[in-house]
Chain A
């Protein structure tokens, strides 16, 4: 069985703010960062979880080739909570070639190509503005950026499995560490606003006109957000009491449909079962479940079936997509960080936006915060194409 991963440093930046402090504060106050707003040229009736001020953020000068909204968010995210310092110390301990970079994203810097396509030559169809495809649009760009930011020389790649992307990277790091190829890794994910996802999800009629309401009787779709999440993961030798570890992860496929989940949540159950088995835990030992909880009618119903079948109806659960919006390829990463905060502070966060629970759903969905010590929590991430990932995070006991 693969070994647990110690999250020796972690941070996130989302519509709730930059870094852990504003995130925790927003969770404590059940404050949402999703609001009705104008962004770019979008003419849809929708609400967004936008990271305020991102347009004005400047990339480090020597990394200018990577300049795009996604990599700006990546750098802003990296530079919170002394995360950069933690990575530099890990480089001293292990060497730059022994640290991997595995990040999730769904759209990377595609906004750069969206903008360039608006300025094509009418006669020839050629671009009239420069476009650095490799360093912006290509999915690998964000891992390349983070690797270049630190001067790391270990293995790297991007996982792009829609909304499970930045959860699955914890598994990639765990496997390569277990095989002895690396001693540490930067994992997480970055996804930023772009027209592709806004108009794409709108075409599938999956976007709500108001801030999303996971598990609410009147839920009618997602709110799209943007975020960056990073964790430095290492072996558990240095994990002191109180430290956070990823103790189990499970990955599965739905084999059902490209854009709707298996109605009984069979793939989701397989992922949750594997995660528990790797952690060596029974369902009753899970103290809180951070649901995928997108707030579309079918997703929440399928997840509720899977969760209540495995855990019964007493385990406190909630979706934090009401706080941050659905940050797509970054969702698994930020929800892992939120779970780490929950474990650290004994806070099972109540959802935002949800008022009247759907009586057809059976899970114990928290409408208000529950403050009590937490030992093991589960985070679910289920993506388009039927890509499922569940992760158990645990607090090391004294």
Chain B
């Protein structure tokens, strides 16, 4: 077997002009116009108040997309495996630590330090949902979404259990923003299951390929897809929003794409 087959149980998404799956699906299906309104993120629900206050953009993004996806899926987060993927983790926090280390007094804040680990959103997610299941945190630069989808699907297939995939990216402040230009935050969540949980659920078959990545017809959405690694998921999300079978190629690594065959039961 060189194909991975999983079923989409729920989707969550937050980005500029995209505020939760229900609204975003209307936009991606072409029933509502897309406008680049600034992202509006709910507070990181289920986190204790002290942690919630200190939660940076990456944690808020992961939580917003995660709870959105879980609600669509009707899944219990306390039992779900998870895969977190992001190109830079908490970019504001990283910048603040680098500034401190370059200053005369290098006393890094303890909270900033433990929030600097790439798996901080995963750790907070486990605390908030009381989930002790397997969780991993990945990075593959611009291919981080595809890497996460591949890992989540292999978890679903090998364990025969559902898995939550969360992909999120946020901008670096300058000067890092000058060398890694991500213009705005974007987060997406997918609950993937080993068997179809609803008659209308999409089946995804994943394989590695050499195709050019699929593009979006809407220039503003295409610009978002191209500029934020987590938004490389958008061609897939568009099919899911339209309930349309088909095939998309998602950006992964140099010369390699993750091909996704999307099927709806007739």
Contact = CB atoms under 8 A, between A and B. Distances in A.
A117 B102 contact: yes
Contact of A176 (B127, B150, B207): B150
Nearest to A41: B106
Interface stretch (A14-22, A196-204, A221-229, A297-305): A196-204
B180 A134 contact: yes
Assign chain B's interface to a size class: 35 or more
Contacts of A196: 97-98, 101, 108, 113, 116
Task: Pick the most buried of B126, B136, B208: most chain A CB atoms within 10 A of its CB.
Answer: B136
Interface string B133-172: 1111111110110010011011101100000000000000
Nearest to B98: A117
Contacts of A89: none
Interface in B77-136: 87-89, 97-102, 106-110, 113-120, 122-124, 126-127, 129-136
Given A120-B102, A138-B87, A251-B134, A158 B139 contact: yes
B130 A255 contact: yes
Task: Pick the most buried of B88, B109, B130, B135: most chain A CB atoms within 10 A of its CB.
Answer: B135
Nearest to A160: B118
B253 interface: yes
A182 B123 CA distance: 30
Contact of A160 (B100, B110, B117): B117
Contact of A252 (B124, B130, B132, B151): B132
A127 B118 contact: no
A179 B154 contact: yes
Assign chain A's interface to a size class: 35 or more
Contacts of A114: 98, 101-102
Contact of B114 (A158, A251, A259, A270): A259
Interface string A115-128: 01110100001110
Interface string B52-93: 000000000000000000000000000000000001110000
A175 interface: yes
B174 interface: yes
Contacts of A7: none
Interface stretch (A54-62, A75-83, A347-355, A379-387): A379-387
A147 B252 CA distance: 14
Given A131-B179, A153-B256, A160-B118, A140 B132 contact: no
Given A199-B107, A251-B134, A253-B135, A258 B141 contact: no
Nearest to A200: B113
Interface string A1-26: 01000000000000000000000000
B175 A179 contact: no
B265 interface: no
A106 B114 CA distance: 12
Interface string B196-212: 00000000000110000
B140 A158 contact: yes
A94 B124 CA distance: 40
Interface string A368-384: 00000000000000011
Across chains A and B, which 10 residue pairs bring their CB atoms closest together, nearest first? Answer: A385-B123, A200-B113, A160-B118, A139-B139, A157-B147, A175-B154, A117-B102, A255-B126, A253-B126, A157-B140
Interface of B: 1-4, 87-89, 97-102, 106-110, 113-120, 122-124, 126-127, 129-141, 143-144, 147, 150-151, 153-155, 157-158, 174-176, 178-180, 207-208, 252-253, 255-256
Given A160-B137, A255-B130, A385-B120, 11 more contacts: A117-B102, A127-B178, A138-B180, A139-B89, A161-B119, A176-B150, A196-B97, A200-B116, A253-B123, A253-B132, A386-B127
27 contacts: A2-B158, A97-B208, A114-B101, A116-B175, A117-B102, A120-B175, A125-B174, A127-B178, A138-B141, A138-B180, A139-B118, A140-B139, A157-B140, A158-B138, A160-B89, A161-B118, A161-B119, A162-B118, A175-B151, A179-B1, A181-B207, A196-B101, A196-B108, A200-B97, A258-B120, A384-B114, A386-B126
